[in-house]
Structure formats: C-alpha cells, structure tokens
Structure 1
Amino acid sequence: MSTETTTAPTIDRIVVGFDGSEQSTAALEHTLSLAEGVGAAVDVVTSWRWPLTWSTLPVANTWSPLHDAEEIRQHAVEVIERHGSHTVGVTTRAVEGGATEVLLEAAADADLLVVGSRGRGGFRGLLLGSVSAACVQHATCPVLVHRGEDTTTPDTTALDTTTPDPTAQVPTRHAPTTHHGPGTIVVGVDGSPESGRALRFAVLLARKLGHDVRTITTWQWPAALNRDEPPFDHWSPEQDALSTASSALDAAEDLIDDDVHVRSELVEGPAAEVLLEASRDATLLVLGSRGLGGFRGLLVGSVGQECAQHASCPVVIHRS
C-alpha cells in the first residue's frame, strides 16, 4: 500500500449532465439527493451546438438548437422543483459546445461529475464508450455513472468465488455490519494509490450519508503455479490480499470514526465478476481509475468500464 501523504477529500460542488432523457432525469434526481446528504452545490449542465451542415437548410432561419437546449434546461428546473431540494444551491445552464468538452470544462474545478449511462439531445450518444466513457477517461475529478431504472442484473452465473469466512482475520473498523443492503458503499481495494484514494472518498461519503463501507480485495492463484512446491507451499495470494486490505484501512484510519462502520472482505475470483456480484446489494460501487494486484488491469476501459456498464448500482470511478 502506498504511504504517500494524502489529504481529506471534500465534496462541495457536483456537476451533472442533463439532456432531458429518462436516464439523465434519474441521474439528476440521484445527484440532488446525494448533494443534500453531503451538503454540496449542484451545477446542472446541458450542451448544445449547431449541426455542421444545418445552415444550408431553410429551417435554420427559424430554429436554433439553443431554443431546444433552453427547453431542456427548463425541464431540469421542473425536476429540481419537483424534487423539493431546498438545502443545496442548484444552478442550471445551457452551454454551447460538444457534450464531452462542455462537461469536462464544467467539471474542471468540481469535486464530482455525474453522467447518465446514455442520453439524447444535448448529450446524444451518451453511451459508455462515447461521452460518459470519455468523461471517465479524462475528467480531473471522480465520475459517477448512473445507469437509471433500467439497470439489468449482472450475469455472474459463471462466478466461482469463495464465500468470506467470518472467522478469518479480516480487518474491520468500528462495529462491522453483517448485512450489505441499502446504505452500503462497496470499494475495490488492491493496494494501489488510486484504490487508496477511492477508499478515502468512499469513507467520506459514508460518514456524510450514514452508510456503511464494505471493502473487497480479490485474489487468485495464477494458473501456472504449482501450489505444492516452494515457496508456494508456505505462501498464498490470499496472504498478500489480507495485508493489502489491512494496509488500506490503516491509510484511511484518520477518516474512520465511530460513525463509519467498515468491513473488509477477501474474495477469491476475477475482479470484475466479484465486484459485479457485490454491486447487487450495494448503494454505490467505488473504484480507483486504475489498479494492480487483486485488481490488476483495473484501468478505465477494462474492469472499471465493465463495472460502469453492468453494475447493479451507480459506479464512481475515482480520479484525482
């Protein structure tokens, strides 16, 4: 685990992309609830621009994409009023430019960027792999991908993981919970600096929202190793996973108090499948932008992207 000096994370300003679609409406409602819980201001952003060939058509003289963008912005205002959010400052604006560039610029000094998994209008093509994926790849702040009400249950039928042993020496902090349901933030921990910062971010959210934290460190035997030959007859990757999980909690100890319940688990299995299974009962899944060890290959576009596409809960890819 990295021993680099870290500061306590903050969540004071959240930017959310809005295009009027059901997905972005759900993302906005989720953002408003989250902002109320953490005491953050919300900046609702809609993008618009002229199609490159639009000026050659007669209708260009009577219609403007800004007009549509303003209607979408007004729809955002209605969503905000319907939500009844009075404890946070909320602004709405329509900004000229491509969706990706507008969102990235708006979030340059934000603490969190929220995007729907897909959209239309101002964020047409907001599918993972396009605008949302670009934001996850290039934003300078954590990005929350909200998949909306049509979230599908991940297919983990082929998953062969080891059920955590409650008697194992798994590190815990402050009255670990034994139930992982609503109000549980799951964090992938692998010993990388990125996952360490993701854990600190998750603990901050948990403290403000009254949630529990469940950290998961995966481990696997490399297929080519003979477990019965030295040095593997006296060592296992599970031992490294245990050390990693313990070090991660030690590094976040300054943020953990009696109001934050944290439990760590070691699970044998592929990282993405383990995390997708854990997302079934989670409120939020938090991952570092890239990782190593138990989450080797946790680069945005691999495990992180797979979780953002298929998790059963919103996913935060933590970038710093």
Structure 2
Amino acid sequence: MSAPVVVGADGSSASLEAVAVAADEARLRGCGLKVVHAFVWPALDVPLAPSQLGPAEGELRDLAAQLVAGAAEHARSVAPDVEVGTAVVTGEPLTVLEAQSRSAPLVVVGSRGLGGFAGLLLGSTAVHLATHGRCPVMVVRSRPAATGPVLLGVDGSPAAEAAVGFAFAEAALRGTGIVALHAWTPWNVQVPPPQDPSEPYAREPGTLAAGERRLLAEVVAGQRERFPDVPVEHAVVRGGAREALIEASANAGLLVVGARGRGGFTGLLLGSVSQAVLHHAHCPVAVVRGSDARR
C-alpha cells in the first residue's frame, strides 16, 4: 500500500475537522491515514517528575495517547474502510509535521489549533507547513462542500505547474469538475515587444484579454488530455487574484494554489496570493510547491 495521508491532531475542534477531511482524502486515494500528535513537553525540557503542579510524564503521554486514539476513532467513523494508524512524536508541531511531509502524499492540518492567539485567522503551524512542507499541504478552514468543484488558481508560472496536476488528480478522485480561474490586470500581464521595432507597442483593444484566455487554455490543455473525464470551466477575471479566488471559493469544495506564482519576490517561499487565500478562503485550501519540494 502507498504511504498514508498524514493529519495533525491536537485535540482542538479545528484539528478534528481536519481529521475528518483527511480520512476522506485517504479513502479517495485508497491508502491509509496516520494521525500524528506532537508531544511538546519533553522537547521544551519541562520537568516531568511528579509534582503538585501537574501530572508525571507517564500521565502526559497517556493523555497524548488518548487524544490520538480519539482522533483515530473519529476518522474511522468518517471512513470505516480506511486503515488508521497513530503516532505520538516528541517535538514541536512545526518540525514534526514537516518531517512527516517528506514521505507523505498529503499532509492535512486545521486552520488553527490549541496554541496561538484567539484573534488570528490562521495558526502558525498551517502557515509553516504551507511554506516548508515537502508534499501538498491541505489546510482545513471548514468542511468542504460535498459536490463543490475544485477551484484552481492559474497564473501560468512554472512554479505552479505541480498545483495544476494536483488539482486535476483531486477532481478525478472526487468525481467533480475543475474551475480554472486566472485573474489578470494590465499591470501584471507579460507583454512581449513587437517583432518589428518599427511597429507601435500599443495593441488592439481586447488583445491583452485574449492573450490571458489563451494562457489559461494552454496551462490546462495537458491535464485535460490526462483526465478527459474531468469537466473544466475556464474563468478569466480582470482584477486581483486574491479577491477573485476568495470570492469564488465560496462555491468550491477545495481551492488549489501553488506556493508561489509569477508575481512577488524570488526569495519568498510562499506568495502573497497563497497567504491571502489561506487566511480568508471559504473552503479548504491545498498549497502545492513546485518540483523542488522534496529536495
């Protein structure tokens, strides 16, 4: 059997939603599910001897084991046929789940856990994994719509090619369609100079929009050949990508984006559009890094 889907569990309601989504993902892939809890106390060198202030180490581990066991039972209630394993790993959640991502096909986490600040829309673990995970990372903001399409953010950059393939494969597993959305403005369109220097740089009205429609069609063409049974709707929007994707996510079962696109700064591992949808999308978001993700 292939490697299991990994889901982080910390006992929060957000992580239980992530466990349910991860169980569905494992069922769709025909693989197992691994529920992972990061056991933080020993990693922080907290004294664990019996005291009046708290339980002994054994009792803490028992609580952690009970937590993952409860999450595993929740997963089995969602997907009874999925083989569910558990692991309690000493370490910070960020480093533990990043290590798990090196061999997993997918890591699923809730948008916020027990740590962090109540006013934050997105927890540090979700942001960290989306930035550094070695496989696709799915952040669950809410349960996906049962029949909602997969919404794919397309910008035409080489870095986002892996996201396109993931989105089509996910739509095929779910038995749903793709809404491939490409947003553009005159300021972010790459316009080649005319071949003849004597020609004016000005273009006929509608030329830019036609070029962006062509870009979208070219990006999805190869995947349409691989997945001929996946219906694809093209959506070319003149406007900001962040706003367009967040609005469209209200009717989607999953939003898929690349970690970085053709905009932004080369040194950033997570682009501004990816960060925005992680914080504000109305459905789960999968962030897919490019071909360097497992290096």
With the length of structure 2 as denominator, give the TM-score of the two structures. Answer: 0.82
Question: What are the ranges of 5 or more consecutive residues in structure 2 without an aligned counterpart?
Answer: 189-198
Name the aligned partner's letter for residue 56 of structure 2: W
Aligned mate of 1:28, from 10, 15, 19: 19
> After superposition, where does 1:123-162 map in structure 2 within 5 Å?
124-125=115-116, 128=122, 130-148=124-142
The answer on 1:186 being equivalent to 2:151 is yes
Aligned mate of 1:309, from 279, 282, 285: 279
Write the deviation string for residues 221-264 of structure 1: whole angstroms up to 9, x where unpaired: 239xxxxx94233264323311211111223233221x211121
C-alpha distance 251-193 of structure 1, shift in aligned 2 (>3 A): farther
> After superposition, where does 1:75-114 map in structure 2 within 5 Å?
75-83=70-78, 85-114=79-108
Instruction: Say whether the 8 Å CA contact 2:261–2:271 is kept in structure 1.
Output: no
C-alpha distance 73-248 of structure 1, shift in aligned 2 (>3 A): same
C-alpha distance 58-181 of structure 1, shift in aligned 2 (>3 A): closer
Q: Match for residue 254 of structure 1?
A: 225
Q: Matched residues in 1 for 2:18 and 2:123: separation?
A: 18
Q: Match for residue 191 of structure 2?
A: none
Q: Percent identity?
A: 32
C-alpha distance 17-181 of structure 1, shift in aligned 2 (>3 A): closer
Q: Matched residues in 2 for 1:200 and 1:289: separation?
A: 14
Name the aligned partner's letter for residue 39 of structure 1: G
Q: What is the SS of the residue equivalent to 1:265?
A: strand
Equivalent pairs, count: 268
Q: What is the SS of the residue equivalent to 2:187?
A: coil
Q: Matched residues in 1 for 2:99 and 2:25: separation?
A: 22
Q: Match for residue 8 of structure 2?
A: 17
Aligned mate of 1:231, from 201, 206, 218: 201
C-alpha distance 62-265 of structure 1, shift in aligned 2 (>3 A): closer
Q: Match for residue 40 of structure 2?
A: 49
Q: Matched residues in 1 for 2:62 and 2:185: separation?
A: 55
Q: Match for residue 178 of structure 2?
A: 213
Write the deviation string for residues 6-42 of structure 1: whole angstroms up to 9, x where unpaired: xxxxx85311101111100011011112221232321
Q: Match for residue 176 of structure 1?
A: none
With the length of structure 1 as denominator, give the TM-score of the two structures. Answer: 0.76
Name the aligned partner's letter for residue 234 of structure 1: E
Deviation at 1:57, TM superposition (A): 8.0
Q: Match for residue 118 of structure 1?
A: 112
Aligned mate of 1:297, from 235, 251, 264: 264
Instruction: Say whether the 8 Å CA contact 1:183–1:210 is kept in structure 2.
Output: no
Question: What are the ranges of 5 or more consecutive residues in structure 1 without an aligned counterpart?
Answer: 1-10, 152-179, 224-228
The answer on 1:202 being equivalent to 2:197 is no
Name the aligned partner's letter for residue 117 of structure 1: S
C-alpha distance 252-54 of structure 1, shift in aligned 2 (>3 A): same
Q: What is the SS of the residue equivalent to 1:263?
A: strand
Write the deviation string for residues 125-168 of structure 1: whole angstroms up to 9, x where unpaired: 3963611111111111010000136x9xxxxxxxxxxxxxxxxx
Q: Matched residues in 2 for 1:43 and 1:129: separation?
A: 21
Aligned mate of 2:240, from 252, 257, 270: 270
Q: Root-mean-square deviation (CA), in Å?
A: 2.7
C-alpha distance 117-193 of structure 1, shift in aligned 2 (>3 A): same
Instruction: Say whether the 8 Å CA contact 1:304–1:317 is kept in structure 2.
Output: yes
Q: Match for residue 216 of structure 2?
A: 245
Detail structure 1 runs of 4+ shifted over 6 Å in the superposition.
Answer: none
Q: What is the SS of the residue equivalent to 1:88?
A: coil
C-alpha distance 264-61 of structure 1, shift in aligned 2 (>3 A): closer
Instruction: Say whether the 8 Å CA contact 2:39–2:92 is kept in structure 1.
Output: yes
C-alpha distance 53-33 of structure 1, shift in aligned 2 (>3 A): closer
